[in-house]
Structure 1
Amino acid sequence: MGWAILAVALGGVAIALQAPINAALGRGLGAPVPAAAVSFGVGFAVLFLVSLLQGQGAAFLRLGQVPVWTLVGGVLGAWYVFAAVWGVASLGVVTLVAALVFGQMAAALVIDATGSLGMAVREITPTRIAAAGMVLGGLVLSRL
C-alpha cells in the first residue's frame, strides 16, 4: 500500500502542476476550452502510445462492448480540466487543489457509503467524516 500512496501522491503533484500549466496554455490560446481540449489531446496521444507499447492496443477494439455509462468518465475528466484551467487564475493553486480534494472527498464518501459505480460498500466512520471536514477547513483557511 505504501507504493500506491506514493504513486497517488505523485499524481497529486501532477494535478497541482497541471492547473497552472494548462492556464498558461489557455492564456496563450486566448480561451480555456480549447486549452482543455489540447491538454486532453496530448494526454490521449501519450496514453494511446503507452497502450500500444505495452501490447494492449487490442483493448481499444472492445470499446463497443463496454456499457455506455462508463464513457462518462471522459466527460467528467473534461469538466475537471476545464474547471481547473478556468479557476486557477482566480483561486490560486492552493485553493484550487483544496476545492478539488474536498469535492473528491465528499463524492468519495457517498460512493463508499452506497457502493455505487461498482465499488464495494465501505463504512463511513466519524474519523472519515472528520477527514473530509479537515479538508474543508483547509479550503476555508486557504482563502484567509
Structure 2
Amino acid sequence: MTMWHWAGLGALALMAGAVVPFQSAINANLGRGLGHPLWATLASLLVSIIVLLPVIIALRLPLPSLAFITQAPLWMWAGGAFGVCFISLALMLLPKLGASGFIALALAGQMLASLLLDHFGLFGLAQRQLTTPRVVGALLLMAAVALIQFANAPAKALAAA
C-alpha cells in the first residue's frame, strides 16, 4: 500500500470516527424529545434505512444471495444488535459523561476489543500478534481516557463546595 493510499484510507477512517460524537449528541437530544432513548435508537435506524435504500438503488446493487442469507452463521447477523447496543448506550451515557468522556471511553473499549480480535484473528480478520508496543499503546490510550474524563474533577469538586 502506498503512502498516499494509506493516507486516503486514514482520512476516511478519521471522518468515520468524527461523525460518532455528532451522531451521539444529536440522538441524545432526539431521545429526550421522543421520551426514551430506545425510541431515538429506532428512529436513527429507520433514518439509516431511508438514507441507504436510495443509494443502493442508485448504485444498482444486485440483491444479496438467498443461499448466503439462509446459510450464514448466526454470528454474522450480530452486527445489527451491536449497532443497537452502541446507539442506545450512547444516547443514555453521553449526557452523563459528556461527549469527550463518552467517546474517550468508547474508543478505549474499541481499542481493547480490537487488540483481542486482531490477536486471535477472530471473524476472518488477519491475525496480528499482541506485542509489547501494542499493549503499551493501549495503556497510553487508557491513560489518555483517564486524563480526558477526570481532568476537571477537582475543579468541579471545588466549585460545588
| Range class of TM-score, shorter chain | over 0.9
- 1:40 counterpart residue number: 45
Matches within 5 A, 1:8-27: 8-27=13-32
Counterparts of 1:126 and 1:45 in 2: how far apart (Å)? Answer: 45
- In the other structure, the counterpart of 2:119 is 113
Gaps of 5+ in 2: 1-5, 151-161
Aligned counterpart, 1:104: 110
In the alignment, residue 89 of structure 2 is paired with which amino acid?
A: A
What does the per-residue CA deviation read over 1:59-96, in whole Å, with 9 as the maximum and x for residues that have no partner? 27553343222010100011000010110000000011
Tell me how far apart the structure 1 counterparts of residues 99 and 137 of structure 2 sit (CA, whole Å).
21
- Report the Cα distance in structure 1 between the residues aligned to 2:140 and 2:52, rounded to whole angstroms: 34
After the TM superposition, which of the residue ranges 58-67 and 22-31 deviates more from structure 2? 58-67
Residue 33 of structure 2 aligns with which residue?
28
- Identity over the aligned pairs, expressed in percent? 30
Alpha-carbon RMSD across the aligned residues, in angstroms, is: 1.4
Q: Which has the higher contact order (CA 8 A, sep 6+)?
A: 1
Distance in 1 of aligned mates of 2:138 and 2:53:
35
Question: Which sections of structure 1, spanning at least 5 residues, go unmatched?
Answer: none
Whole-angstrom CA distance in 2 between matches of 1:67 and 1:142: 40
Determine whether 1:131 maps to 2:133.
no
Q: How many angstroms does 1:118 deviate by?
A: 1.0
Letter in 2 for 1:111: L
What is the SS of the residue equivalent to 1:120? coil
Q: Which letter maps to 1:22?
A: N
On the 8 A contact 2:100/2:149 being kept in 1, the answer is no
Q: Could you say if the C-alpha distance between residues 65 and 53 of structure 1 is closer, same or farther in structure 2, counting changes exceeding 3 Å?
A: farther
Distance 1:41 1:65 in 2: 26
- Give the corresponding residue for 1:72: 78
- The 3-state SS of whatever aligns with 2:64 is helix
Runs of 4+ in 1 over 2 A off after TM superposition: 59-68
TM-score, length of structure 1 as denominator length: 0.93
